[in-house]
Amino acid sequence: MATAKRVIRCHNCGAILQSDSKKEPGFISRAIIENGVPKIPYCNNCYEKMLTLNSSNLEHETDKDIIKILNDAIATDSLIVWMVDLFSFNGTLNPDVVKKVKKLNVVVVGSKRDLFPSSVTDSMLIRYLDERFSEVGINPVSINLIGNEDKIDIEDMIKEFREKRKYRDIYLIGEVNSGKSTLVNKLLKNYVNKTKWQIKTEVYPGTNSDVLEIPLSNSSFLYQLPDMSNSTSVLSKVEKDLAKIIVPKKEIVMTRRFIGEGSAIIVGNLACLYIIKGRRGSIRVFMSEKTEIKAVSNEKVDDIMRQNKRKKFCRPVSERFNSFRDYDMFEYELEDDDLRHDISVEGLCWFSTRGRGQILRVLLPKGVAVKECLSKVR
Ligand SMILES: Nc1nc2c(ncn2[C@@H]2O[C@H](COP(=O)(O)OP(=O)(O)OP(=O)(O)O)[C@@H](O)[C@H]2O)c(=O)[nH]1
Ligand SMILES: [Mg+2]
């Protein structure tokens, strides 16, 4: 009779696990196998990737035209105004753009302030933005918040831009949907053109991109650059119409679940947080008013995700994700510091919990940026 051996695949890449050749897919050290196959096994390669947390292996798409235009900003030592959408920004900044603007003065503007509950103070959000930009070596010269229905005085921001630019040009950058046009419209409300130039949109020299030019004086302009790609956001991985569910239109919703080891929270079929190890505790999920979550046991996640795809009882549901091969998985061991930590899935939601040495695992669409850091809302 032939001998039978169970064939085990890597949970992340699906390659058949083997201990014979490091160069071939699915290599796992013999020592790991000898200790008993882990319940959720990974090949060495995926395991290492998983440990290289916080998006370092992500592919950020960078528009070459933006880089070209930023070269001019560098040549003229201009002021950069970098807009980020406070809801979807999880701290992962495009490294090519970071490299370019690092040496310049950068003013950060966080948009969609109005989507946060009033209990969230400006100083919490400013500190969060400051920490995320400082992490990549950018020390913003100022951080401003802006929202649709808030009392933020745009005049203050104009004053701020004037002070910081010191007669130089301003280059306004930001991802798709970060609120650049909304800001420009606000700026233009009280704008009086005292220059000899017109406001115009023109193809920027040497590129194929349209750039909006607003004259600030006879020798300086505000340039609104083309959208930076949001290639690491959930929004760029799912069907366009799911944005209606994912992007908050009203105040961001915070939902709490009290769960412990062996449990998980699914967010539609777009993310899942597993509690691998740790005491029961409260997990907060911050998301749009239409996004739904469900607490389930770890073992049932796969089944429930499959059922959810058919029956759509927990939205948003994308048709694009069929098996574990379509997702990435990361593991975090939180410090035992009793401080609030966030694990943020770019564009979709963030999970928040107190650090008590627990081990958490996050499943999310391949290529989406996830980041762990101290909470935005502390
Ligand atoms: N609630 C809220 N929504 C905002 C705010 N700023 C922008 N939005 C909304 O976010 C969406 C994107 O804003 P835009 O100003 O068009 O952003 P953009 O950076 O120009 O993005 P593109 O559409 O890619 O050109 C729009 O639906 C806006 O209404 C804000 O401060 N609060
Ligand atoms: Mg726009």
Ligand 1 atom with the shortest distance to the CA of 174: 19
Q: How far is the CA of 156 from the centre of ligand 2 (A)?
A: 22
Query: Which strands, in side-by-side order, build the sheet including 359-365?
Result: 293-297, 263-267, 271-277, 359-365, 327-333
Q: What is the pLDDT of residue 206?
A: 94
Q: What is the pTM of this model?
A: 0.86
Cα–Cα distance between 160 and 173 in angstroms, integer? 17
Q: What is the pLDDT of residue 335?
A: 87
Ligand 1 neighbour 227 (Cβ under 6 A): yes
180-207 pLDDT tens trace: 999 999 999 889 999 999 999 999 999 9
Task: Give the ligand with the smallest distance to the CA of 83.
Answer: 1
Alpha carbon nearest to ligand 1 atom 2, residue = 112
Q: Where are the alpha helices (DSSP H) in 61-202?
A: 64-75, 95-101, 122-135, 154-165, 180-189
Alpha carbon nearest to ligand 1 atom 32, residue = 112
Residues in the 5 Å CB sphere of ion ligand 2: 181
Ligand 1 neighbour 226 (Cβ under 6 A): no
Q: Is the peptide bond before 41 cis (omega within 30 degrees of 0)?
A: no
Ligand 1 neighbour 108 (Cβ under 6 A): no
Query: Which strands, in side-by-side order, build the sheet including 349-354?
Result: 253-259, 281-287, 349-354, 340-345, 370-374
Query: How many Cβ atoms are within 10 Å of 356's Cβ, its own excluded?
Result: 15
- Domains plus CATH for the chain? 1-51 (no CATH), 64-224 (3.40.50.300), 234-374 (no CATH)
Alpha carbon nearest to ligand 1 atom 1, residue = 112
Cα–Cα distance between 54 and 61 in angstroms, integer? 17
Give φ, ψ of 16 to 5 degrees: -70, 130
List, for the chain, all residue ranges whose pLDDT scores fall below the cut of 50: 54-56
Query: How many Cβ atoms are within 10 Å of 138's Cβ, its own excluded?
Result: 22
Q: How far is the CA of 177 from the centre of ligand 2 (A)?
A: 7
Ligand 1 neighbour 148 (Cβ under 6 A): yes
Smallest Cα–Cα separation from 326: which of 351, 314, 309?
A: 309
44-84 pLDDT tens trace: 888 776 666 544 457 777 889 999 999 999 999 999 999 99
Q: What is the pLDDT of residue 34?
A: 80
Alpha carbon nearest to ligand 1 atom 21, residue = 177
